[in-house]
């Protein structure tokens, strides 16, 4: 397994976690807890930024 394969695998995991966090926040807002949904968007935004910056630093395409 090469270093690039490890980077791709780590980026995929980060992306799935960010997508799950965003999906959970949106689900909270839809279910009827908009305040909790907005609060949950803060860590989801951080995880999305972490995923984006990880890919950008390693020169991966989007």
Per-residue pLDDT at 38: 92
Domain for residue 41, yes or no? Answer: yes
CA angle, residues 51, 8, 22, in degrees to nearest 5 = 30
Per-residue pLDDT at 53: 95
**pLDDT tens, residue by residue, 3-45:** 888 999 999 999 999 999 999 999 999 998 889 999 999 999 9
Domain that holds residue 8: 3-57
Going by pLDDT thresholds of 50, 70 and 90, the confidence category of residue 1 is confident
Domain for residue 62, yes or no? Answer: no
Entry pTM: 0.85
Per-residue pLDDT at 61: 78
Would you tell me the crossing angle of helices 3-31 and 34-57 to the nearest 10 degrees?
Answer: 170
Contacts with 41 (C-beta within 8 Å, 6 or more apart), sequence order: 22, 25
Per-residue pLDDT at 56: 94
Domain total of the chain: 1
The upper half-sphere exposure of residue 29, i.e. CA atoms within 13 Å in the direction of its Cβ, equals 11
d(CA 18, CA 42) in angstroms, rounded, equals 11
């Amino acid at each position: 397994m090469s270093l690039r394969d490890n980077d791709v695998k780590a980026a995929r995991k980060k992306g799935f976690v960010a997508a799950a966090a965003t999906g959970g926040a949106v689900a909270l807002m839809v279910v009827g807890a908009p305040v909790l949904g907005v609060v949950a968007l803060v860590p989801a935004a951080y995880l999305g930024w972490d995923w984006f910056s990880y890919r950008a630093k390693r020169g991966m395409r989007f």
